[in-house]
Structure 1
Amino acid sequence: MDNNKKLAFGKKNYRLMLLGIVVLILGFTLMTMDKEQYGFGLLGLTVGPVVVMAGFIIQFFAIFAKSKETK
């Protein structure tokens, strides 16, 4: 067995993934904080979904970012 197995992603990738997860949680939390009925206010329809989309975009870049450690 090879003891020098490398992880699939580098440290930069994992940090970006963690940041993306935090942004996703923040976006979903913002959507639940909307006081309008059925979430039809500004937080539920505009701000929250934009933050969630930003979290998914960060995740996309975290997966496809080149790391100096993985070659």
Structure 2
Amino acid sequence: MGEQKQKNLTKDEFIFGKKNYKFMLIGLGIIALGFILMSGGGSDDPNVFNPDIFSFRRIRLAPTLILIGFGVQIYAILLNPNKK
């Protein structure tokens, strides 16, 4: 009898809804884009300095995108899927 009640009470529900997963994928895409923008800019020859590593894209834009992506992830986790 106890097992029947427990089986009836536990439904196969996901913690997050469809909207949560959409925002999580968007946030993950923004984070990946930030890391892609941050990569590169190195030099093949260690004796040659490449000033491109200090560009606006690598110093300001990419870290900002990563932080925005983490903010979207936090929003996706805190979003109430049952609210209509």
State the TM-score, normalizing by the size of structure 1: 0.81
* Structure-1 residue corresponding to 2:12: 5
Distance 1:34 1:65, change over 3 A: farther
Structure 2 CA distance for aligned equivalents of residues 44 and 34 of structure 1: 9
Structure 1 CA distance for aligned equivalents of residues 40 and 27 of structure 2: 20
- Deviation at residue 61 of structure 1 after TM alignment: 0.0
**Which residue of 24, 30, 36 maps to 2:31?**
24
Q: Does 1:42 align with 2:49?
A: no
Q: Does 1:51 align with 2:58?
A: no
Report the number of matched residues: 69
State the TM-score, normalizing by the size of structure 2: 0.70
> Runs (4+) of structure 1 moved beyond 6 Å?
none
- Deviation at residue 68 of structure 1 after TM alignment: 2.0
- Deviation at residue 40 of structure 1 after TM alignment: 1.8
- Deviation at residue 4 of structure 1 after TM alignment: 2.7
- Deviation at residue 5 of structure 1 after TM alignment: 1.5
Task: State the identity as a percent.
Answer: 30
Q: Which runs of 5+ in 2 are unaligned?
A: 1-6, 43-49
- Tell me, yes or no, if the aligned pair for 1:34 and 1:43 is still in contact at 8 Å: no
SS of residue matched to 1:68: coil
